Amino acid sequence: MKLREAKDLITHYLVGHKFVSPRSLRKAVAVIRSDPRYVNDLLNECGRHSTLTKECVRLRSCVDELCELEPTLFEKQAPELLLHLESCADCREVFWDLKGVWSETTPLDTAAAIPTVSKVVKRLATAMSVIADKLGNLHQIGHGPLARDIEPVAAAMSATDSRDADQGGLAETQPSIKRWELTDDEMDCAISVSVQYEADSGFQLSCEIGWASTDDGTPLPTQIEIYSSDDDSLFHAGSIEDFQKEPFYLAPGAYRIELTSQVQDTDYHWTLPISFEHSEGVQGK
């Protein structure tokens, strides 16, 4: 989508001249963020004031070029912008909206075994990484896709009935949760990954996949496997429905989540690298 087209879609959406689908609106918002002056004017017209810093403006003025760089070249050619990207949630969201969180890799050769089945393999472009402080709070590190903070009370309320929640004490005892919502527009689905740290158990990992195209509400069968990134040792294998039933914990380290689902005659495979660290004192996002 070109910038002019994105601006027109935003205008149509704001004035209500024609229907703009959520997917088109999301793409348009991602595109216009590369024009800081337009975004600033738009915010002012809507009664909001821009909070863009000089570093934000500088990064967004060349975000298209930065999205094309390999991570090693990014770090070498623009280290100060990489540091800003790691510390600024708004700029990180702009960056990944434009770049896209998935990179397609060469499909595995399945023709010999199953001639009628093709395979699409996707990998998260940059690993999800978090570090836990001594209080059990999680901080995102690196410049991977932005994780959202889940409020402790809200998370506790979803896990207990309202009568138990009214007894109090949940906000003080429930550690923070980081959640990634990774949208795959091609498949019309979203993969959700959540991490919570517990001092006596480690990092609790949960994962689910939502299919927007499922009309009857029945989820498509999806398999999940979790491997160590160091030695490829397998920690878990099974259906994602069974994985969601019991808490699953991992020690600090680097891992990869492998998801596989078959849609008609195509196997879709997603690889999600993720790493956990623990520190007595940390400043993070």
Tens of pLDDT along 34-86? 777 777 777 666 655 556 788 888 898 888 899 998 888 988 999 999 999 99
Where b means 16+ CB within 10 Å and e means fewer, 186-214 reads ebebbbebbbbbeeeebbbbebbbebeee
E strand or H helix that includes residue 261: strand 253-263
Question: Measured between alpha carbons, how far is 21 from 58 in angstroms, rounded to an integer?
Answer: 31
Question: Measured between alpha carbons, how far is 123 from 101 in angstroms, rounded to an integer?
Answer: 8
Work out whether strand 253-263 and strand 266-278 pair parallel, antiparallel, or are unpaired.
antiparallel
Residue 156 predicted with pLDDT over 80: no
Span 94-109, average pLDDT: 80
Nearest of 97, 27, 107, 98 to residue 270 by alpha carbon = 107
Span 126-155, average pLDDT: 85
Residue 165: its pLDDT value, please?
44
Residue 251 predicted with pLDDT over 90: yes
Structure tokens at 91: 């700029």
Residue 168: its pLDDT value, please?
46
Span 100-111, average pLDDT: 70
Q: Which residues contact 31 (CB under 8 A, 6 or more apart)?
A: 1, 2, 3, 5, 6, 98
Percentage of residues in the chain having pLDDT higher than 70: 77
CB 80 within 8 A of CB 54: no
pLDDT band, residue 280 (cuts 50/70/90): low
